[in-house]
Amino acid sequence: MGWPALTRAAPRGVATARAEAVRLAKRVRALNDNLVANQAQLQSLIEESKAAPLLEKIGIGPLVAAVVYAAWTTAAAVHRRPGTVTTRRRRVHALPSRGLGR
């Protein structure tokens, strides 16, 4: 089922709907082009990072590798942050010695 023929006698609603459909289709194409470019850039960045070996694993693409890498580097930063104590199982924030119900 296609669009009805657009004539001078076509209702204004049909012409408006057609114009909106064309506008949205152009927008979808532009967003798809942006997505392809972003994916290529992400792939390139991950290949240059320490997370590159993750791309060799089945089921791990550039996006998952980027998320894992970001979580790993953030965890390392938290681990080194002053005021935290690291145990074998979890990181515990050190509490101040005063002002805790005394």
Please, what is the end-to-end C-alpha distance for the chain in angstroms? 76
Quick one: pLDDT at residue 82? 59
pLDDT tens track for 71-99: 887 766 555 555 555 544 554 444 444 44
For 15-22, what is the mean pLDDT?
92
pLDDT tens track for 24-73: 999 999 999 999 999 999 999 999 999 999 999 999 999 999 988 888 87
Residue 79, phi-psi category: left (phi > 0), alpha (psi -120 to 50), beta (remainder) = alpha
